Amino acid sequence: MMGLGSAIGAGLFLGSGAGIAMAGPAIIVSYAVAGALVLIVMRAVAEMVSARPSTGSFATYASQAFNKKAGFTLGWLYWFLLIMVLIAEISGAAGILHSLVPTVPQWGWALIFVVSFAAVNLWGVRNFGEFEFWLSGVKVVTVVVFLIIGVALIVGIVGDGPVGFSNLVEHGGFAPQGFSGVAAGLLAVMFSFGGIEIITIAAAEADRPREAIRAATKSIFWRILIFYIGSMLVIATLLPWNDPAVSGPNGPFVAVLQLAHIPAIATVMQIIAALALLSAFNANIYATSRMAYSLTAQGEGFAPLLHLSKRKVPTNAVLASIVLSLVGVFLNWWIPGQVFTVLLDLVGAALLVVWAGMLASQLRLHRELEREGSISLRMWWHPWLSWIGLIGLAAFAGLMLWNEQTRWQLLGTIAITLVIWLIGLVRGVDRHRSTMPGDLSPEAGQGSGPVVTGRPGVDDH
């Protein structure tokens, strides 16, 4: 369910309209290209996770493939990225509910959510998983119902009669803005896939990590095809791409469902968008805490973050994420649209660096894992598909440099990456030994290779 939920966020419900407005019906192509790149990246990571389960995931593999400075840089860059996302998510959810219930101030909603999810994550990984299961379930059901209603509208079972497929080719054609529109749409939608890599962190904390990552990654193709591309096909078929409602404040999902004359649908979708943000907030508290724990276990963090509760929860690492999310909400209220607007713009470009690091690590580690005989989920068409993924990410970086609005985001991310690398150099992370004796996985010692990081939470299932 985390895998399913990570494929569905507020960016899909509310933000996809901006991509449609840029690319027209050809947004389907933009999503397909972005989805293909994400599929390649996730398969590469799945190969490494299947061989050496670790809650440090790609940071651990970067350390093993290159050196500890690489793992330090990739891991803390990802941690920084998710902290920025945490701030955006809790602020966004609080803002939506404040607009629905204005008697409760935005900071009040934010405080309620932060305290609630702190309790969920501190209580144990089982509680986190149960909570995330239901939050993800709401999003999955919403998209499935949307697709059913959309198809019914297209063929005329509901609504004012059959719509047909004319909107896909009229109003300037399938790609009214040409290649530049598809490229702009790609820039708008690429990072809506961000967060899907969290399943590789969570899988390592499962009872049977190899089977967990196998099940999650094998279904990624269908999730992308059905949830993203299927939704865009329905929207582009039912609405002209230049309809103001597509990029309006309520998003294209509401615009489509209003064609079916569903009462109060705008309010319902606002609530679902808030739940999507809260689901992502919950998952990212988990991901940031496990990443911080794992990095520290390898001698690349700060010793207090290694504290485990009786339930094997990295308490201090969770509290660090909670405190920073509270500070972020306060700063967002105090100086809205300034510091954190700038930082949040860096999130997308940081994902490029993280994804590229995943592919590079797989290319470097593959031969070693082959010698161990520990690979149970292989990368397709190795090494060619990994190289195609890297070339695709490089091309996307070129698009960002070409676009004036995204150019500084990429350059800023490069600067932040260099700063984190220099911090690792100054700290001498390559000279530090692992703080933890080894992997705590139930599968440790069963041909999984030399994993150097522990797994919190294995007793809480």
DSSP string across 324-389: HHHHHHHHHHHSTTSHHHHHHHHHHHHHHHHHHHHHHHHHHHHHHHHHHT--SSPPTTTTHHHHHH
Does the pLDDT of residue 455 top 50, yes or no? no
| Mean pLDDT rounded to a whole number for the chain | 82
For the ranges 88-102, 213-227, 428-442, the one whose mean pLDDT is highest: 88-102
Per-residue pLDDT of 17-45, as tens digits, reads: 888 988 999 999 999 998 899 899 989 98
* pTM across the whole model: 0.82
* Tokens, residue 441: 């996985």
Q: What is the dihedral of CA 94, 97, 98, 99, to 10 degrees?
A: 130
Reported in sequence order, the residue ranges of 139-211 that DSSP labels E, i.e. its strands, are: none
Per-residue pLDDT of 403-416, as tens digits, reads: 887 888 888 889 99
Tell me the Ramachandran region of residue 412: left when phi exceeds 0, alpha when psi lies from -120 to 50, beta otherwise: alpha
Of all helices (H) and strands (E), which one includes residue 273?
Answer: helix 265-297
Specify whether the CB–CB gap between 359 and 390 falls below 8 A.
yes
Alpha-carbon gap, residue 392 to 398, rounded angstroms: 10
Q: How confident is the model at residue 432 (pLDDT cuts 50, 70, 90)?
A: low
End-to-end CA distance of the chain: 16
Q: What does the angle CA 330 – CA 335 – CA 337 come to, to the nearest 5 degrees?
A: 110
The alpha-helical segments, DSSP class H, found in 24-67 are 27-51, 57-65
Q: What does the angle CA 3 – CA 281 – CA 201 come to, to the nearest 5 degrees?
A: 45
Per-residue pLDDT of 318-328, as tens digits, reads: 999 999 888 87
What share of the chain has pLDDT > 90, as a percent? 23
* Tokens, residue 326: 């509270």
* Tokens, residue 371: 């010698």
Does the pLDDT of residue 337 top 60, yes or no? no
Specify whether the CB–CB gap between 188 and 19 falls below 8 A.
yes
Specify whether the CB–CB gap between 412 and 80 falls below 8 A.
no
**Residue whose token pair is 């005989």:** 373
C-alpha distances out from residue 417 to 127, 351, 424, Å = 34, 11, 11
Q: What is the DSSP letter of 243?
A: -
pLDDT for 369? 93
Instruction: State the Rg of the chain over Cα.
Output: 22
pLDDT for 435? 47
Alpha-carbon gap, residue 292 to 178, rounded angstroms: 44
Q: How confident is the model at residue 287 (pLDDT cuts 50, 70, 90)?
A: confident
| Residue closest to 356 by CA, chosen among 403, 413, 407 | 413
